[in-house]
Structure 1
Amino acid sequence: MNKKILVGIALVGVVATCSYLFLYKEHRDIKTETADYVVSIPNMDVEFQTNDSVANAKYSDKTIELVDVVTSVDEANNSIVLGEKVFGTFIEKTPLKALTGKTITIKGRFLGYDELLEEYKLDQISIVK
């Protein structure tokens, strides 16, 4: 009987520990991660037009790197638009006025494609130097 109680307590302890470790993972640091994909906006357009569910599965929650011209900035929301197709919000407060019209490389976490606005959404972006 005592053996069954000890095994039961040990089993509950293992399940509780595994559950805790699964639910409370460390936060990702996108800025220091290596990009899973280095892509261009036209290539992403082709992939999403060909098969958007496959493209979403490929890029979703992955770190991607893009190069294009900054078409607009929103300092209040700490965000930019690249090539009129990619909307991204920065991790940290960044001076954005000087970026308009310049070609930059950004890295961030891909959130998805917004069909209504026809934009790709990224968050936690940073400028790659």
Structure 2
Amino acid sequence: MKKKIIIFLIIVSVLAFFGYKYIYQSHRDISSETASFSIKVEQLKKDFSSNDSVANAKYLDKTIVIYGEVTNVDLENKQLIIDSSLNAKMTSDISAIKVKDKVTLKGRFIGYNDLLEEFEMDQCTIEKE
């Protein structure tokens, strides 16, 4: 009887350990991930205008590197607007970024907003200026 109780407790402990590890996984670190794509904002526009469902399957929730010109800087919310159509929520400091700077950003693509007609990325960092 004691063997069955000990085996049962071991099995429950192992299952509890793996369940805990599964539930409390570490978050993605986008800045250390390898980018799936390296594109310009114009190419992103072309892909979405030709077939948005294929483009969503291709880019959505992927780490991408994107090139463009800064058209607006929001220091308070740490956001950059690139080529008037990409809203990038930054994790790094953007106080040195000015309008009309050419930037390369790495971040997670989170979608296309049909209403505002703009692309959205988050967890962005500046790769090079």
Same fold (TM over 0.5): yes
1:56-85 Cα offsets, whole Å, 9 max, x none, are 232222211011110111111111000111
Gaps of 5+ in 2: none
Q: Name the TM-score, length of structure 1 as normaliser.
A: 0.85
1:35-65 Cα offsets, whole Å, 9 max, x none, are 1111222222232233323322322222110
Q: How does 1:28-67 map to 2 (within 5 A)?
A: 28-67=28-67
Aligned partner of 2:115 in structure 1 is 116
Gaps of 5+ in 1: none
Q: Alignment partner of 1:99: what SS?
A: coil
> What percent of counterpart residues are identical?
39
Q: Alignment partner of 1:80: what SS?
A: strand
Aligned partner of 2:106 in structure 1 is 107
Q: How does 1:3-14 map to 2 (within 5 A)?
A: 3-14=3-14
The code of the aligned residue for 1:26 comes to: S
The code of the aligned residue for 1:108 comes to: G
Q: Which runs of 4+ in 1 moved over 4 A?
A: none
| Alpha-carbon distance between aligned partners in 1 of 2:51 and 2:5, rounded to the nearest angstrom | 54
Q: Name the TM-score, length of structure 2 as normaliser.
A: 0.85
